[in-house]
Amino acid sequence: MNEKTMRKSRWQTVIFLLIIIVLTYLSSAITSFNFIDGVATIPKAIGWMLSNLLVTQETLDKLPNILEKLAETTFMSIAATTIAAVVSLFLGVLGSKTTKVNNFLSVFARFIASVSRNIPVVAWSLVLLISFGQNSVTGFLALFVGTVGFLTRAFIESIDEANQSSVEALTATGSTYFQIVGKAVIPQCLPQMISWVLFMVETNIRSATLVGILTGTGIGYTFDMYYKMLNYNAVALVTLCIVITVIIVDLISNYVRKVIL
Amino acid sequence: MSLLKIDELEKSYTADKRILKDINFEIKAGEFVSIIGPSGAGKSTMLRCINRMVEFNDGKIIFNNHDVGSLNKKELRKLRTDIGMVFQHYNLVPRLTVIENVLHGRFGYKTTLQGLMGRYSEKEKEDAFRLLEKLGIHEHAYKRCDQLSGGQQQRVGICRALIQEPKLILCDEPIASLDPNSSKIIMDLLKSISKEMGITCLVNLHQVDVAQHYSDRIIGLNDGEIVFDGKGIELSVEQINKIYGTKAKDLITS
Amino acid sequence: MEATYIKRKKDGRINIKWGNKGDRVLRWTLVVLTILTVVSFLFFNYAGLELGSAIRETAYNLNVMFLEPALSHLDLGEAMYQVVVTLSLAFLATVIGAIIAFFLSLMAATNLAPVGVTRIVRVFVAIIRAVPTVLWVLIFAIAAGLGSEAAVLGMLFHSIAYLVKAFSEAFEEVDKGILEALRSIGADWWHIVKSGVLPSTFTYLLSWIFLRFEINFGVAVAMGAAAGAGGIGFDLFMASGFYFDMREVGFITYAILIVAFLLEVISTRLKKRYFPATTE
């Protein structure tokens, strides 16, 4: 690198940083975000959390109710993820260039994945809520749709990366299409796919809280209820329960991932 | 009687470049034939035309009295069970066991569901073990394929071809990724298979000396055309030059 | 005489799998997931669900949404302004998150910090990640009042957690030789970071930051709707939950889709340009 290109790259860095600073300034102006206020809030907020977000004896009475809602939410997330994974497996096989049946179906699968991934889960929840009402099925479907989008893309990538040579070998033995997919492609990608599924289970438990707040179901609704009743001790307990669940799921999936990959 | 007859075979991927030009040859049952030629001469494409892994444009391939070009999907599947294939990169499914990979060779005889469920008869499994033993890798039967060395993986690949009970085995550069020691083992195995089991072998090779040592007959291919067809000893220096162009010297001395 | 290398099942049939640990765990994972899925349908609360009419209605609503999008409660300028507000929230959370994550990830990278420190940072990050973003925003909203501060601060947490993981992994892949060379000439820690670690990872980090920006846009939409944090998400919530105006919901969804799509295209471009080898 000579002096001239170094100077040029330094100028680029300066311009780049300037753009970022200007954009940050504009963003703060638009959202009336006050950086100093924001920073000042942090100690205040943490202090408030430490003094108010305490699990007290009387909130423990609510524990059975909270755990029931938490179980409902957790099961809903797992069911949504697993069933989405089955659908995504088909879409992924159709969408991947290694195993596609024809170009039309491949584009179609990718299109479905793209639409369901990019329409925010919020929009799905709200639309489904209107007709499906305040129950688990609404949350299940909202999570399901987003998960199909995400997993299909991930599965397509896993299948594309799989070694294509064994597909050739099985074709040469006179295998049928489904034998090739089932015995040459899937065994290679399965660990990767399971890893994505576990990741989505964990993500969906967190998203389910959001969906729950919007659709009035599960643990999200419980949280929202105590939150609006200003019962912060119960809010603390709900949060704690969610944290513990997510961490447990995280630990399990990390273990599985380590063994299978 | 000839097992395989190729007549005026033509193949091109794009309109302006012909990969195979007017290929004609016959192979008798039980023959061990090598196809030699520089990379890009069309060896791989030619091999893959025979079991229609690659669709050819013109000409005729007659295998075992069947017109390969005119078969429908089901008949093609049936044809492929009669033709085993061995690859340069072994093309095994890496995460599965050796024995599972060998049994994949039976898929052509099964319905889709049987294949997917992994329903193999006890006889098929015993045959698979017998083949593994014959090729000296039975100890590794339950290992994952990606834990084996290249030479061992290639032997698994050969077992997979043999369990098809094929009439013909197509070998696409079977020793190109192997060290000299393993190469010798693989070529000896192929030769003995051809002799003892009477299976016809058609082998793509890079190395002239290996081809001369093992084959009953050599076909020389250059730029999509057959430039030599005869016994190994008939192959003169000029003819090698004709097959390989100027690269010949390096190949012979090495 | 049976050859000893053939393994048989109890019923005498020959085994073709030799379940190593990975295979066993894989199979168990599949079985457990299946069982949990079946069980979960028993746990569901089906209150007030009429499947047939619900599906018909949803189909009708989706039809109206996507085929007759229109604005009624806000004009086009206002809608675009709200999209910009959402983008701004996402941008602020990403930029501030990236700066904090940069320093934290230096402490989380095993080749730059002592093991004890990396472990503490990692546990800290794991706990932060376990709390859903919407709860962070709502909790901050109590302390700071509902506004952009609560939204940005709440979104900050997951941005930091995500980027610390990505950054520290990038740092750990820096060539050992470079670090050793710098250490051997007596460079101090900060100097090593500045001239050894940063140059080789900078474009990588940028691409991760952009990816997080893409995610944060979606998060900002959700926070607007669920936590009332403003921006287009809030309008989406009002259009559907308050006015039941499917046409407006459709319009807003299209607006969000277009922005999300543009961000995806830009980030794919950036990835292709800066590290074409990886497709992650």
| Mean pLDDT (whole number) for C200-216 | 87
Secondary structure class of B205 (helix, strand, coil): strand
Q: Mean per-residue pLDDT for A49-75?
A: 85
What values do phi and psi take at C45, rounded to 5?
A: -100, 115
H/E/C letters for each residue in C186-216?
A: CCCHHHHHHHHHHHHHHHHHHHHHHHHHHHH
Considering only A35-44, A82-91, A139-148, A218-227, which range has the smallest mean pLDDT? A35-44
Phi-psi region at C220: left, alpha or beta (left = phi > 0; alpha = psi -120 to 50): alpha
Q: Which residues contact A246 (CB under 8 A, 6 or more apart)?
A: A202, A205, A206, C129, C130, C131
- pLDDT tens digits along B192-227: 999 999 999 999 998 888 999 999 999 999 888 899
Which SS3 state, helix, strand or coil, does residue B66 take? strand
Q: What rounded mean pLDDT belongs to chain B?
A: 89
| CA distances to C86, C176, C229 from C244, in Å | 22, 59, 20
B120-124, B192-196, C188-192 — which is least confidently predicted?
A: C188-192
Mean pLDDT score, C75-94: 91
- A87's tokens: 């659908």
CB contact under 8 A, B115 and A174: no
* Cβ proximity of A120 and C226 under 8 Å: no
Backbone angles phi, psi at B225, to 5 degrees: -125, 145
Nearest to B43 by CA among B72, B11, B82: B11
Taking residues A70-95, report their average pLDDT: 94
3-state secondary structure of B199: coil
Higher pLDDT, A157 or C142: A157
User: Domain B2-253 has what CATH class?
Assistant: alpha beta
Examine the pLDDT at C276 and tell me if it is beyond 70.
no
Segment B7-30 shows an average pLDDT of 89
- What is the H or E stretch that residue B220 is in? strand B217-222
Would you place residue C195 in the very low, low, confident or very high pLDDT band (cuts 50, 70, 90)? Answer: confident
Domain count, chain A: 1
What are the residue ranges spanned by the domains of chain B?
2-253
What is the Cα–Cα distance from B171 to B42, expressed in whole angstroms? 14
Contacts of A32 in chain C (CB under 8 A): 147-148
The pLDDT confidence band at residue C144, using thresholds 50, 70 and 90, is: confident
Distance from C-alpha of B58 to C-alpha of B47, rounded to nearest angstrom = 15
For B55, list phi and psi in degrees, rounded to 5. -80, 130
pLDDT of residue B251: 54
Distance of alpha carbon C174 from alpha carbon A16, whole angstroms: 24
Residue C5 to residue B99, Cβ atoms within 8 A: no
**Average pLDDT in the A33-51 region?**
78
Crossing angle of helices C76-108 and C115-130, rounded to 10°: 150
Percent of chain C residues past pLDDT 70, beyond the cut: 95
Q: In chain C, how long is the greatest CA-to-CA distance?
A: 87
Please give the CATH number for the structural domain made up of C72-274. Answer: 1.10.3720.10
Is residue A134's pLDDT more than 60? yes
**A18 within a domain of the structure (yes/no):** no
Per-residue pLDDT of C3-54, as tens digits, reads 677 788 777 777 777 667 888 898 899 999 999 999 888 877 787 777 888 8
Q: Which of B158, B217, B204, B207 is nearest to B185 (CA)?
A: B158
Tokens of C57: 């209605």
* Residue A170 Cα distances to B85, B149, B199, C56, C100, angstroms: 10, 21, 20, 45, 51
DSSP-assigned beta bridge partners for residue B67: B62
Question: pLDDT at position C160, please?
Answer: 94
Q: Is the pLDDT of residue A3 over 80?
A: no
pLDDT of residue A4: 65
Residue A73 contacts residue A220 (beta carbons within 8 Å): yes
Residue C280 has pLDDT above 90, yes or no: no
Rg (C-alpha) for chain B, rounded Å, is 18
pLDDT of residue C279: 38
Asked whether the beta carbons of residue C54 and residue A133 sit closer than 8 angstroms, the reply is yes
Domain ranges (residues) in chain C: 72-274
Residue B1 has pLDDT above 90, yes or no: no
Question: How distant is the Cα of C35 from the closest Cα of chain B, in angstroms?
Answer: 21
- Contact of A238 with A223, CB cutoff 8 Å: yes
Q: What value does the mean pLDDT of chain A take?
A: 87
| CB nearest B99 (choices: C3, C16, C20) | C16
Q: How far is A260 from chain B (nearest CA, A)?
A: 11
| Candidate from B122, B133, B139 with C-beta closest to C14 | B122
- Cβ atoms of A116 and A149 closer than 8 Å: yes
Number of C-beta neighbours around residue B180 at 10 A? 9
Tell if the CB–CB gap between A174 and B53 is shorter than 8 Å: no
CB contact under 8 A, B138 and C3: yes
Specify the residue for token string 């069982």: C35
The pLDDT of residue C2 is 56
Instruction: With a cut of 70, say whether residue A1 has pLDDT above it.
Output: no
**pLDDT confidence of residue A117:** 83
pLDDT of residue A6: 62
* CA nearest to A28, candidates C99, C135, C84, C100: C84
Residue A211 region, left (φ>0) first, then alpha (ψ -120 to 50), else beta? alpha
Q: Which residues of C touch B144 (CB under 8 A)?
A: 20
pLDDT at B126 over 80: yes
Query: Which chain C residue's Cα is nearest to B103?
Result: C16
- Is A172 domain-assigned? yes
Could you say which of B90, B93, B108 has the minimum Cβ distance to residue A173? B108
In this predicted structure, what is the pLDDT of residue B249? 54
Residue A14 has pLDDT above 90, yes or no: no
Number of A to C CB contacts under 8 A, please give it.
Answer: 232
Q: Which positions ≥6 away from A62 have C-beta within 8 Å?
A: A234, A237
Chain B positions touching C13 (Cβ under 8 A) are 122
Domain that holds residue A199: 61-260
Summarize pLDDT for B142-164 with one digit per residue, the tens: 888 888 999 999 999 999 999 99
Q: What is the pLDDT of residues B42-98, one digit of tens each?
A: 899 999 999 999 999 999 999 999 999 899 999 999 999 999 999 999 999 988 899
| Position C71 pLDDT exceeds 80 | yes
ipTM of the complex: 0.87
Residue C34: closest C-alpha in chain A: A82
Give me the mean pLDDT over the A75-80 stretch: 93
Burial class (CB in 10 A: 0-12, 13-18, 19+), C77: exposed
Q: How far is CA A180 from CA A156, A167, A188, A195, C62, in A?
A: 16, 6, 12, 22, 38
Residue in chain B lying closest to C6 (CA): B129
> What is d(CA B51, CA B75) in angstroms, rounded to the nearest whole number?
11
For residue C140, give the nearest of A45, A71, A206 by CB distance.
Answer: A45
- CB pair distance less than 8 Å for C3 and B126: no
